[in-house]
Structure 1
């Protein structure tokens, strides 16, 4: 699914081709073992598959069987139990291959990678006064004309932590309030918006000085969720 399109199409083609070749070889092998290929001109001989004269025709019969084309020229006879079993196996495995490959292509098509590239975040976050409150702020915007509906945003502070018992947590996660209690975390991205986090007693930055912010090793992860307008 994560491969490039050309490799996805190559895998898609190769899987079907190998499946058809494999079952085509089995059909040819059955005809060869039963002696059908030695009685092509014998009208009294009942072959496993009528009008199967070699590997090429066995390969074509395999394609017709798995894709349910049904041209009618080549057809299995009731005097061939091994052929009936193989027909059932190919029909079942063919359905599984179809479901798997179509599912992979659907997931590949529906991946929102290109859509995600149009969501822009500011390169830098700033700490400044806003409405007489010290706030951490950054900007987010959507470049597409089709909007993202029911968008919501949340942020986490990820840094190492050592508990009072001496346990070291390398990736401790702390929620950063960007408006959950006021509803400001639910966005309508018709234009770039400034996301603000008030640095108060409940903020993970409350006890950090400017020097600590410059030296501290941490990461702020911002998560924007929503649905594409077309869906």
Structure 2
């Protein structure tokens, strides 16, 4: 019976198969072990205190740095500081730098003309000024803009009788080139940042815990909305949970690695269609001794990080999301989204976040592994994808198996399912 159930459970994962409501559930499952639903999880979560997320669903970290004394460190890396500014401040700095530079050199050009007496001989045709047709501060400001931007309208021109003007011209040309390189480079990096590329990388709203290949697994789904792919994509996950050591030290927001295939290479993704990322709950997993009942009492957060290079630009992109303990559904499985059409595969993103209930043991993975080592029998699993048979036939089949086995199950502790 259990072998048939596993076959039907595996069939639910095939491409193009949609989830169906189970027609009949065996009597043991109906009477003794109710399957957890979203509502039961909501009721159990009502007693929990509202907690602050370590990371938002959008990937924004809710960590603010306060009482920073060594603020000069930001100025030591001025380029990165400007790139990290918000767009409104970045544009303000961009405008102010150019405006102040033009005003500064415009004032110097006006000061040279004032000291030389060019402004007092505007009507004297025999007088050779430092800059022709410079009659005041406004015209000096315009000449500064023309010099730094190399526009050259041809009306105001520097003469060879002004050595101090020639030196100032060289200084402004060099400093103007540096300012252009710095600010244009800053704006280019700001525009080409791959942060917006992460907006088209999707994570499922919930994570689920269910059986896969006869093992309890924690799973979540990732997908890419664009046709251009993420090159060398990799996934990793962290468990954020407060911890107290054996010595009594309290560690808030302790980070623990969650293995999502690092040792087998499954963490390297070919993200063409949505993928279900699976974490096998084994002896090395932080969820090894966590049952469904304990899950409803725990307080933790799972942070998932997807990294890769943008195919179009070659720049590294990172997308992040998180799952609170209330967003981990025990006994659920993701609805298939991939179907085979004529000459292509189609992804239905309407079902990307959808899950359906599946029969899953409520005990922890440690108890489940121990029961299998001791040869204990699990209760019959319902076949969610089964199309034939009635409740009476299933009960008769169950009774027939019980009669054939005799009293083989007597005296053995039954694993809760």
Please report the TM-score for the alignment, with normalisation by the length of structure 1: 0.88
Larger Rg: 2
How far apart in 2 are the matches of 1:141 and 1:75?
Answer: 61
Greater CA drift, 114-123 or 78-87: 78-87
How far apart in 2 are the matches of 1:81 and 1:164?
Answer: 78
Greater CA drift, 175-184 or 18-27: 18-27
For residue 227 of structure 1, report the CA deviation from its aligned partner. Answer: 1.2
For residue 3 of structure 1, report the CA deviation from its aligned partner. Answer: 6.0
- Which deviations, in whole Å up to 9, do the C-alpha atoms of 1:128-171 show, x marking residues without a partner? 10011110000001111111111110111111112222222112
For residue 76 of structure 1, report the CA deviation from its aligned partner. Answer: 3.0
- Aligned mate of 1:136, from 201, 218, 223: 218
Greater CA drift, 80-89 or 133-142: 80-89
- Which deviations, in whole Å up to 9, do the C-alpha atoms of 1:77-111 show, x marking residues without a partner? 45444434433432233123212211221112112
Correspondence 1:36-185 to 2 at 5 A: 36-185=118-267
* Higher RCO (Cα < 8 Å, 6 or more apart): 2
Greater CA drift, 39-48 or 130-139: 39-48
- Which deviations, in whole Å up to 9, do the C-alpha atoms of 1:31-63 show, x marking residues without a partner? 112211111233443322233222232122101
Greater CA drift, 135-144 or 96-105: 96-105
Using a 3 Å threshold, how does the CA distance of structure 1 residues 31 and 184 change in structure 2: closer, same or farther?
same
For residue 72 of structure 1, report the CA deviation from its aligned partner. Answer: 4.5
For residue 190 of structure 1, report the CA deviation from its aligned partner. Answer: 1.2
How far apart in 1 are the matches of 2:241 and 2:249?
Answer: 14
- Which deviations, in whole Å up to 9, do the C-alpha atoms of 1:164-193 show, x marking residues without a partner? 222221121111100111111111111110
Greater CA drift, 211-220 or 73-82: 73-82
How far apart in 1 are the matches of 2:265 and 2:84?
Answer: 35
Secondary structure in 1 aligned to 2:84?
coil
Please report the TM-score for the alignment, with normalisation by the length of structure 2: 0.51
Greater CA drift, 1-10 or 18-27: 1-10
Greater CA drift, 105-114 or 37-46: 37-46
Unaligned runs of 5+ in 1: none
How far apart in 1 are the matches of 2:169 and 2:305?
Answer: 51
Greater CA drift, 12-21 or 154-163: 12-21
- Deviating beyond 6 angstroms after TM superposition, the runs of 4 or more aligned structure 1 residues are none
Unaligned runs of 5+ in 2: 1-82, 311-416
How far apart in 2 are the matches of 1:81 and 1:168?
Answer: 71
For residue 13 of structure 1, report the CA deviation from its aligned partner. Answer: 3.6
For residue 4 of structure 1, report the CA deviation from its aligned partner. Answer: 6.3
How far apart in 2 are the matches of 1:144 and 1:158?
Answer: 30
For residue 211 of structure 1, report the CA deviation from its aligned partner. Answer: 2.9
Greater CA drift, 73-82 or 58-67: 73-82
How far apart in 1 are the matches of 2:96 and 2:125?
Answer: 38
Greater CA drift, 14-23 or 123-132: 14-23
Greater CA drift, 197-206 or 59-68: 59-68
Secondary structure in 2 aligned to 1:49?
coil
Count matched residues. Answer: 229
For residue 7 of structure 1, report the CA deviation from its aligned partner. Answer: 6.2
Using a 3 Å threshold, how does the CA distance of structure 1 residues 121 and 49 change in structure 2: closer, same or farther?
same
Using a 3 Å threshold, how does the CA distance of structure 1 residues 212 and 82 change in structure 2: closer, same or farther?
farther
Greater CA drift, 148-157 or 66-75: 66-75
